[in-house]
Amino acid sequence: MKQINLLVISLTMFIACKKNNDPPAGGAGSEPPQEIKPQVDPPLAGSIGFFMDDWQPKTFTIPSFTETTIPAASSGTVTIDYSNVVTKVSRSLFGNNANTWMTQMVTEPALINHLKNLKPNIIRFPGGSISDIFFWNRNAADPPADAPATLLNAAGASNPSGYWFGKNTAGWTLSVDNYYAMLQQTGSQGIITINYGYARYGTGPNPVAAAAHLAADWVRYDNGRTKYWEIGNENFGDWEAGYRINKASNQDGQPEFLTGQLYGQHFKIFADSMRKAATEIGKTIRIGAVMIESETPVWATPTQSTWNAGLLGAINNSPDFHVAHSYYTPYNANSNAADILYSATTETKKNIEFISKAIQTAGATAKPVVLDEWNIFAAGSKQQVSHINGLHADLVIGELLQNKYGLACRWDLANAWENGNDHGMFNNGDEPDGVPKWNPRPVFYHMYFFQQFLGDRLVTSGTGASTEIASYASSFSSGELGVVLINKSTSDKIMELDIKNFRAGKRFYWYTLSGAGDNGEFSRKVLVNGVTATHASGGPENYTSIKANAANTDKGIRIRIPSRSAVFLCVDKP
């Protein structure tokens, strides 16, 4: 009788242990725990290169939360392998662009506070095409004597030069010194675009040497504050200063129209002067060259259509990195939401593949790839200031990670309203409907929460054949799993996470970002866990203190993703 009772007790203990997924204590018949494969970092991609030098481990901070009921069943599965590392995460992918018409910045405490919260890490200057008519060390209305009063446009007509000046301290513009002060206040690094156009339109005996000397002097003045520099901006374009010059005013025999080959020859002169200056002050800098990121259209100029081949043939291995820009959707087209969202996943991959192929064809050495201007060209329905553009930004960041770009900067922090055709992340003060100056647009909230929930290593994730849900998963060095889910479709989805090689902790936490019902499919507002703006556009003012939703993991990890929305989620460590 005593032996039977002992047997019953032993069986009872075994069954209890099995229910708790624990092996019974001791004994040769104990079941081993599930094997967890360790993470192994892959080799560093050449397209990222030295942009990984400042990689840092990340720790997830558990937010305040509200316990939430999860759906009982799912309509799809996100499969994640915590052990399968795609790449370590470059800290330089959340960058943005400042420009010279958005105030002195350090005089705008609301803007500075938002940038501190956003942590873009990289902020480019002086901004787009203005870079090629920018004299960093000159006072207002005081260009060099060899900078002509007029410049030729693509059609050959003379127009006022419209130069910009780095020592201009007027309140409406941004000086070089205040750019540096803004970087310091926001904890950001810079990437500076040098005036290459001056090498073309300068009227002195050696305009290339004069422009290269001006660039080298900026390196000396910078004194190691900036690691990343690029020579010119979109110089292949007929909209850029220096694309076409007045040959009668040129003294060194340059052709009327710029070519990629000539730019490559000039690049080496700039780079030599700038590197010499850096060596003199004991600093190391990295210098990028301008490339075209995609097939040129049939209407493209000869300069544009032959740019990459000519550049790569002349430049050898002089650049430290290659620079591209992409605005994803057709220029000025009234693109719909679906086309905008799907462009992020298709164009990001096509762009880096196009650049890589051009480099390979030319027999040049692969270098890191930088996308230091990106946004959408869609216009006519306020697409650029919409929640949909926020979702597009999520997708672009995810695809930049997947395709291993080194650095990226969104265009731009502030611009001009133009009836909603405004690339600015913030209202520059000209938005109607009583919206306050520096009010963040929806894209700000998307990029803020993405960075909060992005770890330091990207791991594999996928949804099978489905193209409606995009997923990006990452691990934190502190042990948690971060997941970003974007629903591109017009119907709600319920997804369940199937996580391999990871033991989940007690809870998971998430924020849902969705649009409101204004302005058709291009809402100017964003809701964060149901909380939205008190103004006609943007999101909640208390975005840093909104409580996360949370649920226990013991019943599975399922999440509802409303139509055209994003979920930023973290699964706790054991």
Question: Does 495 map to a domain?
Answer: yes
If one counts the domains in the chain, the total is: 3
Q: In whole angstroms, give the CA distance from residue 330 to residue 314.
A: 31
Residues 187 and 244 in one domain: yes
Residues 100 and 63 in one domain: no
Residue 3: per-residue pLDDT:
40
pLDDT tens string, the chain, 574 residues long: the values are: 434 343 333 434 433 443 334 333 333 333 445 689 999 999 999 999 999 999 999 999 999 999 999 999 999 999 999 999 999 999 999 999 999 999 999 999 999 999 999 999 999 999 899 999 999 999 999 999 999 999 999 999 999 999 999 999 999 999 999 999 999 999 999 999 999 999 999 999 999 999 999 999 999 999 999 999 999 999 999 999 999 999 999 999 999 999 999 999 999 999 999 999 999 999 999 999 999 999 999 999 999 999 999 999 999 899 999 999 999 999 999 999 999 999 999 999 999 999 999 999 999 999 999 999 999 999 999 999 999 999 999 999 999 999 999 999 999 999 999 999 999 999 999 999 999 999 999 999 999 999 999 999 999 999 987 899 999 999 999 999 999 999 999 999 999 999 999 999 999 999 999 999 899 999 999 999 999 999 999 999 999 999 999 999 999 999 999 999 999 999 999 9
Question: Which structure tokens are listed for 218?
Answer: 């900026």
Domain boundary among 299, 332, 359: 299
Residues 167 and 237 in one domain: yes
Residue 316: per-residue pLDDT:
83
Residue 16: per-residue pLDDT:
40
Question: Does 407 map to a domain?
Answer: no
What pairs with residue 286 in β-bridges? 228
Residues 76 and 103 in one domain: no
Q: Are 451 and 94 in contact (CB under 8 A)?
A: yes
Residue 464: per-residue pLDDT:
86
Domain boundary among 277, 299, 321: 299
Q: Are 51 and 406 in contact (CB under 8 A)?
A: yes
Question: Does 329 map to a domain?
Answer: no
Residues 20 and 62 in one domain: no
| DSSP type of residue 63 | P
Buried b (16+ CB within 10 A) or exposed e, 87-116: bbbbbbbbbbbbbbbbbbbbebeebbebbe
Question: Does 444 map to a domain?
Answer: no
Q: Where are the alpha helices (DSSP H) in 52-105?
A: none
Task: Name residue, tokens 């750019």.
Answer: 179
Q: Are 74 and 491 in contact (CB under 8 A)?
A: no
Residues 129 and 77 in one domain: no
Kindly list the distances between the CA atom of residue 524 and the CA atoms of 138, 425, 445, in Å, as whole numbers in the listed order. 40, 12, 12
Task: Name residue, tokens 């507002």.
Answer: 525
- Stated as kind and residue range, the H or E segment containing 263 is helix 260-280
Residues 156 and 235 in one domain: yes
Domain boundary among 255, 280, 299: 299
Q: In whole angstroms, give the CA distance from residue 248 to residue 250.
A: 6
First to last CA, the chain: 43
- Stated as kind and residue range, the H or E segment containing 79 is strand 76-88
Peptide bond into 126 cis (omega under 30): yes
Peptide bond into 81 cis (omega under 30): no
CA-wise closest residue to 471 among 345, 571, 325 = 345
Residue 466: per-residue pLDDT:
83
Residues 15 and 62 in one domain: no
Q: Are 229 and 191 in contact (CB under 8 A)?
A: yes
Phi then psi dihedrals of residue 300, to 5 deg: -65, 150
* Domain extent for 188: 90-113+120-299
Question: Does 396 map to a domain?
Answer: no
Region of 400 please: left (phi>0), alpha (psi -120 to 50) or beta. alpha
Burial class (CB in 10 A: 0-12, 13-18, 19+), 360: exposed
Residues 10 and 133 in one domain: no
Residue 12: per-residue pLDDT:
40
DSSP 442-457: HHHHHHHHHHHT--SE
Provide the Cα torsion 431, 437, 443, 444; round to 10°: 180
Burial class (CB in 10 A: 0-12, 13-18, 19+), 332: exposed
Question: Which structure tokens are listed for 310?
Answer: 């000519």
Residues 129 and 274 in one domain: yes
At 170, is the secondary structure helix, strand, or coil?
coil
Burial class (CB in 10 A: 0-12, 13-18, 19+), 273: buried
Angle at 93 between CA 496 and CA 431, to 5 degrees: 90
CATH number at residue 60: 2.60.40.1180
Residue 33: per-residue pLDDT:
58
The predicted model scores a pTM of 0.93
| DSSP type of residue 27 | S
Residues 97 and 234 in one domain: yes
Residues 23 and 107 in one domain: no
Question: Does 125 map to a domain?
Answer: yes
Q: Are 31 and 512 in contact (CB under 8 A)?
A: no
Q: Are 357 and 408 in contact (CB under 8 A)?
A: no
Question: Does 414 map to a domain?
Answer: no
Helix, strand, coil content of the chain in percent (nearest 5): 30, 20, 50
Question: Does 101 map to a domain?
Answer: yes
